[in-house]
Amino acid sequence: MADVEDACAVVTHLAGRGLIDEGQAFIRGGSAGGYTTLCALAFKDVFRAGASLYGVSDPVALARATHKFEGDYLDWLIGDPDKDIERYQDRTPLLHADRIKVPVIFFQGELDAVVVPEQTRAMLKALQDNGIRTEAHFYADEHHGFRKAGNLADALEKEWRFYRDVLDA
């Protein structure tokens, strides 16, 4: 959660110096950064919208289904999912999707074996069920972290358009 606090502190600091309009800041991130994005949107009221790129929405499911490297990383970040289940639940954006009140765009590779597409689909559905504006783009030929130039360009263009549309709304 330190990353969430840091991201919010940056917005507050820059706004305090008159460098940005505090109510117009966006947050984005991929993988663990996507998790930070979703946590910031669920647990703070700082950002106008967010972009999650192959981001974790359910760390319990990830801890139980991923390979050892990612599992150990989650143990380090949050704790043992069996011993610290309450902490995991407290830090699971999917379980707190009802607290997200701003638009979110998602990007996900269909071949992602680290953060499986079901994580994105579950978060997308939870937000849509709550009437939150969402947009999602799934890439059939991408894994975890986009590699193909055409997909990268497409995702960036769609993300940029999303931000413009949110600001114009």
Domain ranges of the chain: 2-6+31-168
The first and second tokens of residue 20, run together, are 């940005």
Tens digits of per-residue pLDDT, 119-142? 999 999 999 999 999 999 999 999
Is 157 in a helix, a strand, or coil?
helix
Strand runs (DSSP E) across the chain, as ranges?
26-30, 49-53, 104-109, 134-139
pLDDT band at 143 (very low <50, low <70, confident <90, very high): very high
Is 110 in a helix, a strand, or coil?
coil
CA distance 101 to 131: 9
pLDDT band at 73 (very low <50, low <70, confident <90, very high): low
Mean pLDDT of 2-10: 96
Q: Which CATH superfamily is domain 2-6+31-168 in?
A: Alpha/Beta hydrolase fold, catalytic domain (3.40.50.1820)
Quote the pTM value: 0.93
Residue 63: pLDDT over 70: yes
